[in-house]
Amino acid sequence: MSDKDSARGRRRLDRAAATVALAASALLPTTGPALAAPKDDTVALQTLNDIIKGDYKAATAHFDANMRKHLPPDVLGRVWKSYQAQFGRYRSHEKPEDVKSGRFTVVRVPLRMEHSAGEFRVSFDKSGAIAGLFFLKPGVPVPTSSPT
């Protein structure tokens, strides 16, 4: 396999991982604003800081088993680089906002990127583990559930 084919394959994998992350976010029902979750906010911001520093192994420290399996450190690094290729380099972030979404607490962190705004979103399960991590464009709503 040539370097060109290998690079093309990694780009496909990155797009697939980003698509999975976005699709998974559609499965999280929302029920409105959550009570303040300072521990979740702290872990979300630490995870974001680790990603920004390029310490993807540290960024995955709070992942649940499913996240560790589907978004290992090397893939997380490629997804972050792909996101920056679209939105520009990271500049800063704003204060996190917490939203209750079914069994999850979703922490939304607005991002200021070089070319346009973005959003870092982390979903926490009841045990405090990261069950979802997303790099989004701004304004993507936390999905609502449909009656079952």
98 is a domain residue: yes
pLDDT tens-digit map of 59-83? 999 999 999 999 999 999 999 999 9
pLDDT score, position 58: 98
pLDDT score, position 142: 87
144 is a domain residue: no
88 is a domain residue: yes
Structurally, how many domains does the chain consist of? 1
Q: What is the pTM of this model?
A: 0.74
Angle at 60 between CA 59 and CA 65, to 5 degrees: 165
Assign 36 a pLDDT band (cuts: 50, 70, 90).
very low
CATH code (residue 37): 3.10.450.590
The domain of 124 spans 3-136
Assign 147 a pLDDT band (cuts: 50, 70, 90).
very low
106 is a domain residue: yes
112 is a domain residue: yes
148 is a domain residue: no
91, pLDDT greater than 50: yes
